Structures are given as structure tokens and as C-alpha cells.
Amino acid sequence: MEGKIATTGETGKKSYVIIVVTFISFLVFPLVFSWALYTRERSAELSTVKDREMAIMNNERTHIGVIFDDIINLVMVASEFDKLKQYATTGDEASKKMIETEYLRLSEFFRVYDQIRYIDKNGQEKVRANAGLNNKSYLVGEKDLQNKGDRYYFGKTMSLNSGEIYVSPIDLNVEGTEIEIPHKPIIRIATPLIFDGKNNGIFIVNYMADKLFYSIKNDISVKDTKLSILNQNSYWFVNPDNQEKEWAFMFPDKTDINMAKENPDLWKRLTANDSVQFVADSGLYTAVKFYPFLEAQKLMGNKNSIASSNFRLLSPEKFYWVVVSFLPDSILYQSSKNTLAGLFRMNGAIILTLIILGAMLLNFAKKRLSAEKKTYDINKVLQLITKILRHDLANKFTATRYCLEAFEKSHNPEKISDAKLSIEQGVDIIVKMRSLEGAIIEEAPLVKIGIKGVVLDIAKGFNIPINIKGNEFAAVDDALAVVFENLFENAIKHGGATQINVSINRIKGLCEIKVEDNGSGIPEKIKHYIFNKDFSYGSHAGSGLGLYIVKETISRYGGTVSVEKSSLGGAAFIMNIPA
């Protein structure tokens, strides 16, 4: 029977565990599923963004080639202008006027050329149209025309053969000996004017590269994208983080400011191939080398290009820029982050629903577990009652019968006294059984009452001094009176106490009740067993139920009970009950 009862008691616990495990499983599943979905979308989004960024870069590379094809076409056509040949070879003023008109018209029409010039073989500017404010171009007067014979682009262009085109690196425009302020990025495209075998100077245009950079940024950049443009020597034309680092190669005191020196590993990765992509520094890098004149050369001779096959670019493959876009994670994974946020909201609703259902199931399991525990406890009491009825109470009745039979034979008054004692002990067992029933089976509501009042009522039934000190309130029921009855009775009957002290205090939120006496105390060797059911000790041993009832009652209140040596010399029982 014991084993069967134990198994029944475990059923509720198993159900409780099953519900908890199931609840956790249902809770974890949507989270795991959502994370897997987010990871998959994040990977797909990265792939899509990489393809888009590279496609934009490649389209822009072709677009830039078209732009420079137009520039080269202009240089080729303008250098073959008949009036230019006539003026360069004869100095005809009428031809000069027509050239000035043509250069002014070209400047105002295209609006991308800072200067359009004819420079004679001595380096002297002869005709120069400048871009002006409000898209209004103007001709530079003769007294303001400069000699450019010492400028690098003049010497390099003059050394070319007929039909060859010189392209300068991008740099800042210099007027006189000073870099123009505000900075004006310029690319110079020039060709020698060789007529009848004689070099008569050069035709040159200054293309405003800032317009090109603006076009690249508009075509490639998205919000929060960082776009850098560098030359092949790793100097910045455009630096999104620090404009002070731009055009450093133009200033003698800034020649060490370049990416190759500041971040050599990154520069090496960015220029490993003509096109590269990689994720690093919490974002996506896309880098493409732009060969504007190599792209333009591909178009030369194309039906959409008016370039003559008689012209050729010098080493166009050596002229390139590195255009780098950096997309931080905040942009790179925006879509998947929005998805994740949606999944969080959905999971929140699911989890809330699961919590409500879980709480209902756990409450049901708790009630079932409580009911099964109550059934288990009742079965234990019934086992105990059965044992007492079968054994302890039967023994008392048998002893009473023997005493009465002995009295019939001997008429010895002591036998009547023994019989009365056996009857009293039997009655005591019945009373304790009733107390045990109240302590375990009955479920009277707990009410906060003053502990001192209960002690005073019980103390009236005993003939020794019971001193009470202090008072606190605690949630208890009528069974508390049985606790004090058992403790007082044990102290007097088994310990021979002549004085009992009861102190009631609040300690750390608990009501502490200390019952101590001046009796013989409890031997150290049995202190760990006195609260066990059926335990009895000594010549005056009782049923073994008294202290067991004390423990069960205090436990039902959510408290604890322990025993130690009393300062009075006997035993001290300490009970802590939630206040």
C-alpha cells in the first residue's frame, strides 16, 4: 500500500513537469523558426544588395566611358576646325573671332568645361573661353591671357604626334602659382595642333571633375552610404569622413595622407582586382576601378561615336580611379531587420497566448498536484489510524482487560489504578488521532490572530507556571492550540518540567515562537528523530504522535520547527511562522 500511494503522489509532479516541458518547447519553437527565417532572409538580402551594388558600379563605369568619349570627340573635332588651322598658321584675326565665338558657344552649351583654350607653340594662351557664374561663359581678355609654357600638360602635349591625345591626372586648378580657392578639380584633355608637318601649339579643354564626382555620387549613393573616390595612388578625391584629407597630393605637407598608409590592408583588398566585394567593419564594401578613357576607347569608331580612328589615347589603361561604396549594416540589412521586427511582434503575440494557456495549464496542474498530495496525506493518516487502531489502542484495551481479570482474582486496588491508566492512555491516543486529523486532513482557513491569546487559553489547563513574553500576529487556525498542548504536556509528563517560558517575537518578517522548559531536556542523539511519525523514547514513551502533529501543523502554516537546549536546562522548541 505504501508503494502504491507514493506512485499516486508522483503522478501530479510528472504531469506538472510534462506541462512545463511542453510549454517551453512551444515557446522555443517560434523563436527558433523566426531566427532561421531571419538568417535566411538576411543572407538573401545580402546577395541581392551585392548584385545591385555591383550592377550600379558597372553601369556607372560604362556611363563614365560615354562621358569621356564625348569629351574626346569634342577635342578631336575642335582641333580639326578649319578656322583654327587658319589662325594658327597665319594669325588671321577674322578666323580668331570665329574661334572665340565657337569656344564661347561650346562652353555655354556643355557647361562642364572650366576652360576651352588654344595655346600657341610658345605656351601663350591665344583664345580662352571660361565658364562663368549663372551658366554664363565669357572670353578672357588679351591682357589676362597667361603663358603656360612651364606647365606640365603643355610640355607633354607638345611632345605628342599628330592624332595623339594627352589626358592629365585629376588635380586642382592653378591660377598663376596658387591653387584656386575654392578648390576646382580639373582633368585636362589636349592634343597637338600639327598642320603641314609643323607643331602650332595645342588645343586643350579643362573638364570640371567635380561635376563628374557629383554625378557618380548621385548615381551610386543611397541614404547613409559612404562613397569614396581615390586615384590609383590611394589619394582621396572624395572622403566621406574627413574633407581635410581630400587632394592631399597637391600639398607638400600632406603627401603622407592616403589610404595605403593609413589602412594598407583595406587598400590592398579594395584594389586586388578591378571589381571586389566583401563584408567587413560591420558593412559591405564594393570597389571598382574606373578606367574612363579605356571605356571611351572602346567606343571610338562605334557608330554612336564620331571619333576618328586617326586619333588615339596614350596608355588609357594607366589612368584609373578607385570608386568605393560602403553600406553599413543599418542599410545593408534594413529589409531583414524590418522582417525581424515583424517576427518579434508576431512572436510576442504567440508567446503571450502561450503564457496565458501555460498559466491556465499550470494552475490546473497545481490544483491537481495539490489534490493528489492531499489524497496522499489523507491516505498516510488513514494508514496511521489503522495502525493505531490495530496495534496501540488494542494493546491498551488488552492491558485493561488483564488488570480487570487480575482484580477479580486478587481484589488488588492497584490493578484498578492500572486499568484506569490504560483507559486514560487509550483516550489520549484517540484525542491525538483527532488532533492529527485536524492537522493534516481538515482545511480550515488561516486567520491572523494574536499568538499570546492562544497560549494563555492553553496555559489555564496546566498546574505549573507558564510565563508568556511578547505577542505577534500570524495566520493560523484552531490546530495551533493542539501544538501548545502537546509541547506543554511533553515537557511536564516526559521531561518533569516545573516551569515553562514562552517568548513571541518578530524576526525577519517571521513570527518566532520559542517554548522552553526546565525539565530533563532531549538527549542529543535523538534530536533528529523526535519529529518523525511513530518515534518514542524512554520509560514514559507515548504514542509517538505528539511532536509529529506539531511538525505537520507548523508545516501547514508554511513554517518550520526545530529543537535546541534551553537556557532553563531543558528543551527549547523554536517555531517560525509567516507573520
Model confidence pLDDT, tens digit, residues 283-308: 899 999 988 777 666 665 554 444 44
Q: Is the pLDDT of residue 456 over 90?
A: yes
The pLDDT-based confidence of 275 (bands split at 50, 70, 90) is: very high
Q: Is the pLDDT of residue 422 over 70?
A: no
Task: Give the span between the Cα atoms of 332 and 342, in whole angstroms.
Answer: 18
Kindly report, residue by residue over 132-184, the tens digit of the pLDDT: 888 789 999 999 999 999 998 999 999 999 888 888 888 898 877 888 888 89
The pLDDT-based confidence of 12 (bands split at 50, 70, 90) is: low
Question: Could you tell me how many helices (H) and strands (E) the chain has, helices first?
Answer: 15, 22
Task: Give the span between the Cα atoms of 53 and 165, in whole angstroms.
Answer: 33
- Around Cβ 323, how many Cβ atoms within 10 Å? 25
> What does the pLDDT read at residue 529?
84
CATH number corresponding to 444-578: 3.30.565.10
Please tell me whether residue 301 adopts helix, strand or coil conformation: coil
> What does the pLDDT read at residue 303?
43
> What does the pLDDT read at residue 5?
44
> What does the pLDDT read at residue 358?
66
> What does the pLDDT read at residue 331?
77
Placement of cell 518523525 in the chain: 532
The pLDDT-based confidence of 439 (bands split at 50, 70, 90) is: low
The pLDDT-based confidence of 11 (bands split at 50, 70, 90) is: low
The pLDDT-based confidence of 42 (bands split at 50, 70, 90) is: confident
Percent of the chain scoring above 90 in pLDDT = 39
Using DSSP bridges, classify how beta strands 185-195 and 171-172 pair: parallel, antiparallel or unpaired: antiparallel
> What does the pLDDT read at residue 35?
74
Task: Give the span between the Cα atoms of 475 and 298, in whole angstroms.
Answer: 96
- Around Cβ 538, how many Cβ atoms within 10 Å? 12
The pLDDT-based confidence of 330 (bands split at 50, 70, 90) is: confident
CATH class as words, domain 7-233+275-332 = alpha beta
| Residue-range domain boundaries for the chain | 7-233+275-332, 444-578
Torsion of CA 471, 475, 479, 483, to 10 degrees: -40
The pLDDT-based confidence of 405 (bands split at 50, 70, 90) is: confident
DSSP assignment letter at 443: -
CB 318 within 8 A of CB 274: no
